[in-house]
């Protein structure tokens, strides 16, 4: 059935697998996507939403690099919100609510439109490894498919074990089989594996809810979107989410089930994410809080299925049901599916290189939850990076690695392989030292030229990015060079409660005041004329505003990032014998040997490596 050798085989068709397969095929590599179920491509296993704080920036980065998550999200969105709008531009974070079934369908359609991509449905039960190199996969039917590299994106399926109360059964998602075989083989090959845990709330029948008792949570009035391309458009119509609260009564009902909770009776040993606790965890750890928010999120345009965000639980289904029925608006609730917790295998990501290729097996790449991460966005970005690097390796091209000051994706990968993770890893803006540079508004300026070089996107996209860059610079220069008439300006300043000016001066100066925004400055005659002469898109005007208002902070952060680059340029040769450097502390020698950092900068981020160890390393690297 498979007589040809593929360039890349991607195992798993979730967010990571989808991106890996798409980019690989789009770069011209013959690619096979193998999944246990072709009906569940691009599933939203948890909440029906994409983006959010730090995650929205990642989606925009994926889009700027030619990935599909942004396009799929836009096309299936039912609500759009720009979070953190009251903060500075580095914090603005786009988020969509999505139609779960449309999202999945859109993924499949996008993938099917890629000529070099083949599909096959079966469980992969093992890898073919020859001479330390991954050269294909073996399926549960015993079929061998050969390839030059393999990308594993198994999600929660590896030995997945689902818990609901005191019941437990194997499965990768509710109603789906777990995948077995791969972990054992990898451990035999010398990989270290671990267990992680995550959970999901019940899905309920929207027709059984009383929305009049809840607060509506509408989307933005001015909607935007993820994709920089013109392949998608922003929403005209939206669906509301709703909010309600738990109560002490609900908490008491939940507590009644604690003795049957796998979280509390010790059946689940593995670590779950602290930022995504189950409802039982919340009332246990924050006992003084008498209510918790619940977000009631529609699962689509037309379906009546509803996701109860904030009620993730692995308590027995009868306890879930009883407790939820005492939540305001949920008095008559009917369940579609109960919430559950799931444990699965992962491989500590310190076993990977920056390309997401394993250090142990050549041509084998890991992406997504198999690396101990959580979140669709985190998974998708890893899939993209693994796919790009798998293809580049086959072609004997330089690895494609993003630095910490270039992209959230760079921070994500570097954190994973340098520090590893104890709990499911989620991105936060605070993980990025240079977040002022990593904004959702400039991901295309940062990354699209790179994607064009990689051959993922056409030159057309580059033209748009170039125009954005030159037009915004031009207008900033115009604001620097052009003076206002102080009488006209004072009318505006008085209206805005800003200090009046006494003489004509440059527009830039007034625009940089916090009280004056783009809409205000547009009313000044010179600006009005400039905008009439130059037809500028909103994203260009947004760039102008960011550059006028935050120039100082951006410069400061760039300066900090340049300091990082000095160490980033000091490379450490592969397989370097750290143990031979006696001047290094014992702990540093151990850690460095384990992680095998490729630059001194990376070495400096390993816990247990001190500044004096870094000096010693610098000396040995001969500057």
Partner 1 sequence: MYKNDTIVALATPAGTGAIAVIRLSGPDAHVIAGAIFVPAFAKAEPTPSQETYNHLGANTVTLGHIYDENRVIDEVLLTKFVAPRSYTGEHVVEISCHGSIYIQQEVIAVCLKKGARMAQAGEFTLQAFLNAKMDLSQAEAVADLIASESETAHQIAIQQMRGGFSGELKDLRSQLLNFASLIELELDFSEEDVAFANRDDLRKLLSTSQQTLRKLIDSFALGNVLKTGIPVAIVGEPNVGKSTLLNALLNEDKAIVSDIAGTTRDAIEDEINIEGVRFRLIDTAGIRETTDAIEGMGIERSYAKAEQSKLVLYLLDATQLNTSPRIMHCLLRIQLMREKFPDKPLVVILNKLDQITGLEHAEITKQISTKSPDTILISLSAKSRTGVEELKTALVQSFNSGALSQDESIVSNARHYDALQQAYSSLIEVQEGIENDISSEFLAIDIRATAESLGIITGEITNDELLGNIFSQFCIGK
Applying CB under 8 A, the residues found at the interface with partner 1 are 47, 52-54, 83-84, 87-88, 90-91, 273-277, 282, 285-286, 289, 292-293, 295, 309-310, 312, 419, 428-431, 433, 435-436, 514, 550, 553, 556-557, 560, 563, 566-567, 581-585, 607, 610-612, 614-616, 618-620, 622-623
For partner 1, which is the closer residue by CB, 242 or 392?
242
Please say which residue, 497 or 514, places its beta carbon nearer to partner 1: 514
- CB 329 → partner 1: shortest distance, Å? 17
274/480 with CB nearer partner 1? 274
Extended strands (E) in 413-555: none
* DSSP state letters, 250-277: HHHHHHTTGGG-TTTSSS--SBPPTTS-
Smallest separation, CB 197 to partner 1 (Å): 14
Nearest to 410 by CA among 440, 392, 441, 431: 431
Q: Please list the residues that pair with 158 across neighbouring strands.
A: 179
Question: DSSP assignment, residue 534?
Answer: S
Total residues belonging to the chain: 623
Q: How far is the CB of 618 from partner 1 (least distance, A)?
A: 7
Question: What 3 state SS string does 58-84 have?
Answer: HHHHHHHCCCCHHHHHHHHEEEEEEEC
Q: Which is nearer to partner 1, 17 or 298 (CB)?
A: 298
Shortest reach from residue 443's CB to partner 1, in Å: 17
* Distance between CA atoms of residues 422 and 402, nearest Å: 23
Report d(CA 294, CA 308) in Å as an integer.
7
- In angstroms, the CA 352 to CA 364 distance is 10
User: What are the CA-CA distances from residue 378 to residues 19, 203, 309 (Å)?
Assistant: 11, 24, 20
Q: Which is nearer to partner 1, 157 or 295 (CB)?
A: 295
Our CB check for partner 1 shows the closer of 311 and 344 to be 311
Residues 468, 241: Cα–Cα separation, whole Å: 34
| DSSP letters spanning 574-612 | TT--GGG-TTS-HHHHHHHHHH--SBHHHHHTSTT--HH
| Residue ranges at the known binding site for FAD | 12-17, 124, 179, 369
Q: Identify which of residues 207 and 566 has a Cβ nearer to partner 1 in the complex.
A: 566
> What is the smallest separation between the CB atom of 391 and partner 1, expressed in angstroms?
32
- Write out the binding residues for NAD(+): 272-286
Tell me how far, at minimum, the Cβ of 613 lies from partner 1, in Å. 8
Distance CA 269, CA 5 (A): 42
Element (H, E) at 520: helix 518-521
CB atoms within 10 A of CB 430: 8
Token pair recorded at residue 304: 């009546």
Cα torsion 370, 376, 378, 379: sign: positive
The CB-of-402 to partner 1 minimum distance in angstroms stands at 18
Q: Which is nearer to partner 1, 103 or 295 (CB)?
A: 295
Annotated binding site: 12-17, 124, 179, 272-286, 369
Q: What is the DSSP letter of 157?
A: -
DSSP at 423: S
State the minimum distance, in angstroms, from the CB of residue 160 to partner 1.
22
Phi, psi of 175 (to 5 degrees): 85, 5
What are the C-alpha distances in Å from 582 to residues 56, 331, 466, 589, 617?
Answer: 45, 69, 51, 9, 11
> Cβ distance 608 to 420 under 8 Å?
no
Whichever of 174 and 616 has its CB closer to partner 1, that residue is 616
* SS3 label, residue 335: strand
Q: Choose between 115 and 514: whose C-beta lies nearer to partner 1.
A: 514
In angstroms, give the least distance from the CB of 572 to partner 1.
15
**Smallest distance from partner 1 to CB 90, Å:** 5
Own/partner contacts of 533-537, CB < 8 Å, gap of 24 or more, are 534/471, 534/474, 534/475, 536/471, 536/475, 537/468
Q: Min. distance of Cβ 23 from partner 1 in angstroms?
A: 29
Pairing of strands 167-170, 133-139: unpaired
CA 302 to the chain's CA centroid = 27
Q: Which is nearer to partner 1, 78 or 554 (CB)?
A: 554
């Amino acid at each position: 059935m498979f007589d040809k050798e593929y360039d890349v085989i991607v195992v798993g068709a979730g967010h990571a697998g989808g991106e890996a397969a798409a980019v690989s095929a789009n770069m011209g590599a013959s690619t096979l996507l193998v999944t246990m179920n072709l009906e569940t491509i691009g599933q939203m296993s948890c909440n029906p939403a994409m983006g959010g704080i730090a995650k929205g920036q990642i989606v925009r980065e994926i889009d700027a690099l030619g990935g599909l998550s942004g396009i799929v999200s836009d096309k299936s969105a039912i609500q759009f919100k720009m979070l953190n709008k009251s903060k500075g531009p580095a914090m603005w974070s786009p988020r969509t609510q999505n139609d779960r079934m449309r999202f999945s369908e859109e993924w499949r359609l996008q993938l099917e439109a890629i000529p070099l991509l083949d599909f096959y449905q079966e469980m992969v039960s093992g890898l073919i490894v020859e001479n330390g190199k991954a050269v294909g996969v073996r399926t549960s039917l015993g079929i061998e498919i050969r390839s030059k590299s393999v990308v594993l994106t198994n999600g929660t399926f590896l030995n997945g074990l689902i818990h609901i109360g005191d019941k437990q059964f194997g499965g990768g998602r509710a109603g789906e089989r777990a995948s077995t075989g791969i972990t054992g083989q990898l451990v035999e090959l010398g990989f270290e594996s671990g267990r992680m845990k995550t959970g999901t709330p019940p899905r309920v029948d929207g027709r059984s809810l009383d929305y009049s008792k809840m607060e509506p949570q509408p989307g933005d009035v001015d909607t935007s979107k993820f994709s920089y391309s013109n392949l998608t458009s922003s929403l005209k119509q939206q669906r509301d989410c709703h909010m309600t609260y738990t109560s002490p009564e609900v908490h008491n009902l939940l507590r009644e089930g604690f003795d049957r909770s796998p979280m509390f009776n010790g059946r689940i040993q593995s670590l779950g994410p602290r930022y995504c606790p189950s409802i039982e965890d919340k009332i246990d750890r924050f006992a003084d809080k008498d209510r918790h928010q619940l977000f009631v999120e529609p699962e689509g345009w037309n379906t009546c299925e509803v996701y109860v965000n904030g009620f993730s639980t692995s308590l027995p289904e009868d306890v879930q049901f009883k407790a939820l029925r005492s939540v305001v608006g949920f008095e008559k609730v009917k369940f579609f599916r109960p919430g559950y917790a799931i444990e699965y295998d992962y491989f500590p990501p310190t076993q990977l290189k920056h390309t997401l290729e394993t250090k142990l097996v050549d041509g084998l790449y890991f992406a997504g939850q198999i690396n101990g991460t959580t979140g669709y966005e985190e998974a998708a970005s890893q899939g993209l990076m693994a796919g790009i690097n798998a293809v580049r390796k086959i072609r004997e091209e330089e690895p494609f690695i993003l630095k910490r000051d270039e992209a959230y994706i760079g921070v994500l990968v570097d954190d994973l392989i340098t520090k590893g993770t104890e709990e499911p890893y989620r991105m936060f803006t605070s993980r990025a030292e240079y977040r002022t540079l990593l904004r959702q508004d400039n991901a295309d300026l940062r990354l699209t030229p790179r994607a064009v070089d990689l051959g993922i996107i056409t030159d057309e996209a580059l033209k748009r990015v170039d125009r954005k860059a030159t037009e915004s610079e031009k207008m900033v220069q115009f604001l620097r060079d052009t003076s206002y008439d102080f009488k006209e300006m004072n009318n505006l300043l008085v209206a805005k409660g800003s200090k009046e000016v006494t003489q004509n001066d440059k527009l830039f100066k007034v625009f940089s005041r916090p009280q004056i925004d783009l809409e205000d400055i547009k009313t000044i005659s010179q600006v009005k004329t400039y905008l009439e002469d130059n037809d500028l898109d909103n994203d260009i005007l947004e760039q102008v505003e960011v550059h006028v208002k935050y120039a100082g902070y951006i410069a400061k952060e760039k300066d900090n990032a340049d300091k990082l680059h000095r160490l980033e340029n000091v490379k450490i040769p592969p397989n370097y014998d750290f143990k031979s450097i006696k001047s290094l502390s014992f702990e540093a020698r151990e850690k460095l040997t384990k992680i095998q950092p490729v630059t001194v900068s990376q070495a400096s981020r390993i816990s247990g490596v001190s500044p004096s160890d870094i000096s010693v390393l610098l000396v040995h690297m001969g500057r």
